[in-house]
Homo-oligomer: A and B are copies of this chain.
Amino acid sequence: MDTLKDKVTIFAPASVSNVGPGFDILGFALEGMGDTITLCTREDSAYIIEAIGADLPTDPERNVATVAIRSFCKEIGYKGGFTIRIEKNFTPGSGLGSSASSAVGAVFAANELLQTGYSKEELISYALDGEELASGNRHADNVAPCMLGGFVAVKSCDPFDGFQVAYPEDLKVLIIFPDIVIKTAEARSILPTEVSMSDAIQQAANMAGLINGLTTANYIMVKNSLKDVLAQPYRKKLIQAYDEVERLCEDSESIGFNISGSGPSMFSFFKKEQDLTQLRESIKELYSDRGINCRLHESVINGRGAEIVND
């Protein structure tokens, strides 16, 4: 029998959800952005939280990471405590799955530390208990790609039913994150509860095109299908200069553009070899002219999801 570890460090990537017609159901993981979480067992039963890079709640009842761990430990009957160090290198509220990264990372780390042997798929529902605290709902389109990596389509959450979608190797993504505050609850409340039958049909058609385009590496199909008719028309109004940013990406041969999560971040696909220096400068200038700071992140898709960090 293996000796129990007393410390583990993991990385859980940021993620883009609501990928075009995949509103509430399709997300993908990002390379080079996410939570680094170190989890240690304790002699007592306390949960001690240390946050770096963001002002996170230190009350274990209000922190998504510890809520997720507690849900998992309740299931497996573990009554011990933990010290958890969450190093966040991106901003909560950006629309890049910050709470999912913390919840997934925490549960993944606990499973590793306690050597419980649950599969990543099995861990998703506990991560969702954390995610639910932050976002108020149980959508897994950030949690699932953060856990599994790549593109993940979610068919249902309880129990988790979803699948990874193949994608072209040379796909990269530009994340545009203007310094605008959008609350997930607000982004959700502006959506209608009823939609027209024709919009529902068009969304399904766009989804067919997006999945087929990704799996066959047909970039024209990806671009033409990356359209969300249910949420984006409402939510884009919350993001200043949305149309202008889209146009700049278009001019740089974007392979599809849309809102990341509930915003304010946006994402645009490109081919890996494309030089985006000029585009990045243009976008920064666009927001700078409006007195808004804007961060940019360029990366390939993270195909691995949550993983142990080698010291």
A→B interface (CB under 8 Å): 21-26, 153-156, 161, 163, 165-166, 191-197, 199-201, 203-212, 215-216, 218, 221, 224-225, 230
User: Which residues does chain B contribute within 8 Å of A218, judged by CB atoms?
Assistant: 163
User: Which residues does chain B contribute within 8 Å of A209, judged by CB atoms?
Assistant: 153, 155, 163
Q: Is the CB of B193 within 8 A of A224?
A: no
- Residue of A154, A195, A224, A230 with highest tally of chain B CB at under 10 A: A195
Select A208's contact among B165, B192, B201, beta carbons within 8 Å: B165
User: Which residues does chain B contribute within 8 Å of A22, judged by CB atoms?
Assistant: 204, 208
User: Which residues does chain B contribute within 8 Å of A166, judged by CB atoms?
Assistant: 216
User: Which residues does chain B contribute within 8 Å of A23, judged by CB atoms?
Assistant: 201, 204
Q: Is the CB of B230 within 8 A of A201?
A: yes
Residues A153 and B230 in contact in the complex (CB < 8 Å), given A25-B205, A197-B191 = no
Q: Is the CB of A194 within 8 A of B191?
A: no
Q: Is the CB of A212 within 8 A of B155?
A: no
A271 to B200, CA, bound (A): 31
A216 to B166, CA, bound (A): 10
What would 8 more interface pairs be, CB under 8 Å, given A25-B208, A155-B209, A192-B197? A155-B208, A163-B212, A194-B194, A200-B203, A204-B206, A207-B207, A208-B210, A215-B216
User: Which residues does chain B contribute within 8 Å of A194, judged by CB atoms?
Assistant: 194-197
User: Which residues does chain B contribute within 8 Å of A201, judged by CB atoms?
Assistant: 23-25, 203, 230
User: Which residues does chain B contribute within 8 Å of A212, judged by CB atoms?
Assistant: 153, 163, 165, 211, 215
A208 to B215, CA, bound (A): 11
Q: Is the CB of B208 within 8 A of A26?
A: yes
What is the minimal beta-carbon distance from A289 to any residue of chain B, in angstroms? 36
What is the minimal beta-carbon distance from A145 to any residue of chain B, in angstroms? 13
User: Which residues does chain B contribute within 8 Å of A191, judged by CB atoms?
Assistant: 197
User: Which residues does chain B contribute within 8 Å of A26, judged by CB atoms?
Assistant: 208
What is the minimal beta-carbon distance from A207 to any residue of chain B, in angstroms? 4
Q: Is the CB of B161 within 8 A of A197?
A: no
A153 to B207, CA, bound (A): 10
